[in-house]
Structure 1
Amino acid sequence: MAGDLLRRALTDPGDPVLRPLPELAGELLAGLAAPPRLAAHLRAVHDVAWQLADWVQLHYPSAEFDRPAMLFGAATHDIGKTVHIGELSDPGSEHEQAGCEILLARGVAPDLARFARTHGSWSAPDATMADLLVSLADKIWKAKRVPDLEQLVIDRLVAVSDKTPWEVFMALDDELQRIAVDADRRLAFQASHPVRT
């Protein structure tokens, strides 16, 4: 029964239709007997990360980031909530370091496991563009706007383009508003899956 609920969270198309997680991410969640709601959340954030990656690569092709790593990071950023289940519904950051340790213990490369630790600390001086995009996806999937985070993304995009800060701000704002339109449906998809089995 518990496995069936997790499988449904990993494979249900959703509304809007959500992309499947990378195969390794799905295997990790299954191996950890992840809460179905966590799998649903990771699918929503991963799908939004995919949209952000497409947008950046289309409009700012000089912006360098490791797309496969970023997408894997979005798909596993909250994996620490498999042990800190209370943080699925209540605030907390214990899952961040725990998630990184879980991934490392299962043989995931450090450059992929780090997103579990970095997704909540986008202002760190060593945050990469990939880190910022995972953090942004983890906010905008539910239409949450974080001006400081968005400004960091804008600054990175200005630095690699011939566009003014205002042009980049307006373009990013338009894209985030477009993504946010489906936030209620993504939230409903997440809520349709139980926290505990």
Structure 2
Amino acid sequence: MPSSSLRRALTGTGEPPLRPLPDDVSALLEELSAPPRLAAHLRAVHDVACSLADWLEKQHPDVAFDREATLFGAAVHDIGKTIHREELSGPGSAHEQAGYELLVSRGIDADRARFARTHAAWNADVGVEDLLVSVADKVWKAKRVTDLEQLLVDRLTVVSGQPSWEVFLALDDMLDRIAATADGRLAFQASHPVDG
């Protein structure tokens, strides 16, 4: 039975309202007795990834990407912090490989489990899905990372054939809108305990 704190993190609204995690991810977090703060964080990043996926489908319909994998990746990217709980409130990268191994041990295909590793390794040879998860993991709290965003712009420019500056301006506008609502997401995450 999940704690009431975890249940609130998985089902509570926020301001702006956050979309729920996929059912299978919520069930996994409950099985793992995930820290409520982690569940709240995963919801915030997942919600931003949903917005980015919606934007990409509308703005760049020529870009083939796996929406379901992207949203799954955003929903589980930090799952390794169920093992390395100290990284919930401090720096560290041990959760990345641990999260990948945890997901694979639970029967998740390695291609979907990869997001636990690639969300912080976006300068490697990764797909659009990985870049979207990485961008969502930054901009949810209004952090902008120029090099990361440029990788996404470059990828979209190649596929869409649009001028780079046009792709950049459209993405920049979208990320500015997401960043403008970061305080609500940060407050939602902070309202949930690290232990619970």
TM-score by structure 1 length?
0.97
**Matches of residues 151-170 of structure 1 in structure 2 within 5 Å?**
151-170=150-169
Aligned to 2:177: 178
Partner residue in 2 for 1:135: 134
Most deviating of 35-44 and 57-66: 57-66
How far did 1:162 drift? 3.0
Correspondence for 1:79: 79
Q: Encode CA deviations 1:127-155: one digit per residue, 9 max, x unaligned.
A: 00000000000000000000000000000
- Counterpart residue type for residue 189 of structure 2: Q
AA aligned opposite 1:51:
S
The 8 Å contact of residues 2 and 30 in structure 2, kept in 1 or not, is answered as: no
Match of 2:190?
191
Partner of 2:33: 33
SS in 2 for 1:133: helix
SS in 2 for 1:142: coil
Deviations 1:27-85 (A, max 9, x none): 11000000000000000000000000000110001111110011000000000000111
TM-score for the superposition, normalised by structure 2: 0.98
* 1:73-99 alpha-carbon deviations (Å, 9 max, x no partner): 000000000011111111111000000
Distance in 2 separating the partners of 1:28 and 1:38: 13
Query: Paired residue for 1:100?
Result: 100
- Asked if residue 47 in structure 1 is aligned to residue 47 in structure 2, the reply is yes
Give the secondary structure class of the aligned counterpart of 2:162: coil
SS of 1:194 mapped into structure 2: coil
1:112: which partner in 2? 112
Could you say which residue in structure 2 is the equivalent of 1:7? 7
Any idea what SS the aligned residue of 1:160 has?
helix
One-letter amino acid matched to 2:94: E
* Residues 99-139 of structure 1: per-residue CA shift (max 9 Å, x gap): 001111111111111100111000102x0000000000000
3-state secondary structure, aligned to 2:160 = coil
Offset at 1:187?
0.2
| AA at the equivalent of 1:118 | T
* Shift >3 Å, 4+ stretches: none
1:160 is displaced (CA, Å) by 1.4
CA–CA separation in structure 1 for the residues paired with 2:117 and 2:169: 30
Aligned residue in 1 for 2:147? 148
> Partner of 2:114: helix, strand, or coil?
helix
Q: Indicate the residue corresponding to 2:122 in structure 1.
A: 122
User: How many pairs align?
Assistant: 196
Q: C-alpha offsets along residues 152-178 of structure 1, whole Å, 9 cap, x if unaligned?
A: 000011011131111111111000000
Which amino acid counterpart does residue 102 of structure 2 have in structure 1?
I
Using the alignment, how far apart are the partners of 1:64 and 1:93 within structure 2? Answer: 30
Give 5+ residue unaligned stretches, structure 2. none
Alpha-carbon distance between aligned partners in 2 of 1:162 and 1:106, rounded to the nearest angstrom: 40
Letter in 1 for 2:150: Q
- The one-letter amino acid of 2:69's match is A
Question: Counterpart of 1:195 in structure 2: which amino acid?
Answer: V
